[in-house]
Amino acid sequence: MTDTTFTPRVFSGIKPSGGLTLGNYLGAIKRFVGMQGQMETIYCVVDMHAITVWQDPKELANMTREVAAGYLAAGLDPSQSILFNQSQVAAHAELGWIFNCVARVGWMNRMTQFKDKAGSNAEKVSLGLYAYPSLMAADILLYHATHVPVGEDQKQHVELTRDIAAKFNHDYKTDFFPMTTPVIEGPAMRIMNLRDGTKKMSKSGESDMERINMTDDADKIAKKFKKAKTDPEPLPETVEGLADRPEARNLVEIYAALDDTTPEAVIAQYPGAGWGTFKPALADLAVAKLAPISEEMARLMDDPAEIDRILAVGSDKARAIAEPILKKTYDIVGLLRSS
C-alpha cells in the first residue's frame, strides 16, 4: 500500500559493479525512464554499494560514468529527473550509519541476496556486503521516496526498508519516514542467465555468454541468443506450456519486455515455433532496441567531462533534498548539532 501522507517521489539506483546488462535495462532503466514525468524522479549510480565487493579504483570512476551514460542513452532527461552518484552526497553514508543502529542482525541474516553472494565464504566477505540493505534503506528514505521501481531480486531489500522506517518511527515516536512501495511490474522482473535459467542474469556472472551487455554489438547478441540454453521442445501453443521450462520462459519474457507486450501475445505470435525461428527473431528485436542505446552510450562516453558535469548538477539537487531530511533525523535521534 502506498503511503499517501508523503509527496509521491521515486528513487532507485544501479551499482557500477560491471557493464550494464539486459537485466538492468529491462528490470530497471527502461522502467525508470517510463516513470519520468509521472512524479518526481531521482536516480542514482550507487557507487558506494559497488565497493562492497572489490572494485579496481582505476575502473570504478569509469564504470560510474558508464552507468550514468546508460541512463541518459535510454532516455533519462536530467532536466526532468535528478541523476547523480551516491558518493557525492555524504548524507547517504550518514543516514546509513543511523540505520545500522536501527536494523537488527536477525533481519540481515534473512537477506537472500547476501546468502547468495557470500555463499560458503560468509566469514571472508566485507562487512559492507552484509550491511548493504541498511545503506539501501538510507538511499531511499533520505529522499522520503514513496515508490522504488526494482527488479524482483531487490524486493526483499525494499521490504527491509519498510521495516527500518517502521522501527525508527516506532522507537522515536514519530511518523517521519514513509512506508515505501516497491514497484515490481511487467514481464521482465527477473531476467535469467542465458546458460542457466534458474540463475539471475548478473553483471558479475562468471561467463560473458550468460548475459547480454548493453554495449554488445549485433553479432555478439545474435551469437549469445543462438547459444542460449533451451530444452529440445518448440515453443508451446499457450503460455501455460512455459511452466517448468525456465529457459524457454526467460526468452519469451525477454521478447515480451523488449517489444512492450505480454508473454501471452508473444506465444500467440509464435505458437509452436522452433528455436531456429524464435532465437533469430529475438536477436533481431534485441539489436533493434539496444543498438541505438549502445551507440548513444558510446557517444556520451567520448565526453566524460559532460557526464561529470551532469552528475555534479544532479548531486547539488540531491543534496538540497537530502540535507534537511538528514538534519531532522539527527534532531529526532538527539545527535547534537551545535553549528
Contacts with ligand AQP by CB under 6 A lie at 14-15, 17-18, 21, 23-24, 27-28, 150-151, 153-154, 188-191, 200-204
What is the number of other CB atoms lying within 10 angstroms of the CB of residue 277? Answer: 13
Closer CB to ligand AQP, residue 151 or residue 234?
Answer: 151
SS3 131: helix
From the list 221, 331, 231, the residue with the least C-alpha distance to 285 is 221
Q: Would you call 317 a catalytic residue per the annotation?
A: no
Is residue 16 annotated as involved in ligand binding?
A: yes
Q: Would you call 173 a catalytic residue per the annotation?
A: no
Is residue 219 annotated as involved in ligand binding?
A: no
Residue 231 makes CB contacts below 8 A (sequence gap 6+) with: 245, 247, 248
Min CB(16)–ligand AQP separation in Å: 8
Closer CB to ligand AQP, residue 189 or residue 329?
Answer: 189
Please say whether the beta carbons of 197 and 250 come within 8 A: yes
Give me 131's grid cell: 550491511
In order, the DSSP letters of 65-130 are: HHHHHHHHHTT--TTTEEEEEGGG-THHHHHHHHHHTTS-HHHHHT-HHHHHHHGGGTTTS-HHHH
Is residue 201 annotated as involved in ligand binding?
A: yes
Catalytic pick among 30, 200, 224, 279: 200
Min CB(59)–ligand AQP separation in Å: 13
SS3 57: helix
- Would you give the end-to-end CA distance of the chain in angstroms? 39
From the list 262, 215, 261, the residue with the least C-alpha distance to 239 is 262
Catalytic pick among 30, 203, 224, 279: 203
Closer CB to ligand AQP, residue 143 or residue 168?
Answer: 143
Closer CB to ligand AQP, residue 153 or residue 247?
Answer: 153
Min CB(87)–ligand AQP separation in Å: 14
Min CB(5)–ligand AQP separation in Å: 25
Is residue 203 annotated as involved in ligand binding?
A: yes
Q: Which residues pair with 13 in a beta bridge?
A: 44
Is residue 191 annotated as involved in ligand binding?
A: yes
Is residue 79 annotated as involved in ligand binding?
A: no
Min CB(177)–ligand AQP separation in Å: 21
Catalytic pick among 58, 115, 117, 226: 117
Task: Report the alpha-carbon distance of residue 318 to residue 142 in Å, rounded.
Answer: 10
Closer CB to ligand AQP, residue 66 or residue 153?
Answer: 153
Q: Would you call 115 a catalytic residue per the annotation?
A: no
Return the active site residues: 117, 200, 203
> What residue numbers does the annotated binding site for ATP cover?
15-17, 23-24, 151-153, 191, 200-204
> What residue numbers does the annotated binding site for L-tryptophan cover?
139
